[in-house]
Amino acid sequence: MNTPKVKKSDVLEIGGDPRVDLLPPEVGLARKAMALRRQLGVLVVGVVLVTVVGTGASFGLSAIAEGMLAAEQERTTVLLAEQGKFLEVRAVQGDIALVTAAQRVGVSTEINWKSYLDQVRAVLPGSVAIDTVKVESASPLEIYAQPTTPLQGERSATLEFRVISGVFPDVPAWLVSLEGLPGFADALPSSVSLESVDGGAPVYSVNITMHVNEAAFSQRFETPKE
């Protein structure tokens, strides 16, 4: 069974304090309006205070930022002035770098022929002697002529030398020994002849044409790789 709800205004309080508002309704409305105006006044004052504080903080931050910018600009000016003192040093460094690059280019195809001929002599038998030598090597400004025969390897220099031997030359063994030299590309005997000197003692001469590649370059100014 549903019990009907009773409103508070419908309840009769017995023995309660009698309350009677004898003031006209306009007075109550005026009091409420005054209270509302006070609240609005407090709110406006609060907004004004927040605005003033925010504006002051903005000005403060702006002043700090301007001070920092001025300090950085002054520091930049000082650094530029200090940098100007080293312009001559930088120019010298640039000249050194240019000279170093020129050196590397200039000796990029260089072969230490004295050292290389010593290595050639070391692999040949002790009974032979190198009589004449002719060298033709690559230039940094020109491409070295390459062989037209497919079986021949790339080359960067040509070494022609004449070998004299008092015994019959074992040319194939010599060519095998030359293959162990750095930069060896190929080698062929161009001529083998028998000569007689000192009252008819046999002397053999062999002309060998040898090609070497870039592995024989001295690379004097190259930085060693780690």
Average pLDDT over every residue of 107-130: 89
pLDDT for residue 211 is more than 80: yes
- C-alpha atoms less than 13 angstroms from C-alpha of 85 in its C-beta half-sphere: 4
The CATH class that applies to domain 113-216 reads: alpha beta
Q: What is this structure's pTM?
A: 0.54
Average pLDDT over every residue of 177-184: 94
Phi, psi of 204 (to 5 degrees): -105, 140
Strands 184-197 and 157-165: unpaired
pLDDT for residue 12 is more than 60: no
Q: What is the pLDDT of residue 19?
A: 58
pLDDT digit string (tens) for 21-80?
Answer: 566 677 667 677 777 777 777 787 777 777 877 777 777 788 888 888 888 888 888 887
Q: What is the pLDDT of residue 82?
A: 75
Domain residue limits, the chain: 24-107, 113-216
pLDDT for residue 182 is more than 90: yes
State how far the alpha carbon of 32 is from the alpha carbons of 25, 28, 35, in Å: 11, 6, 5
Phi, psi of 195 (to 5 degrees): -125, 160
- Choose from 14-18, 59-63, 112-116, 151-155 the range with maximum mean pLDDT: 112-116
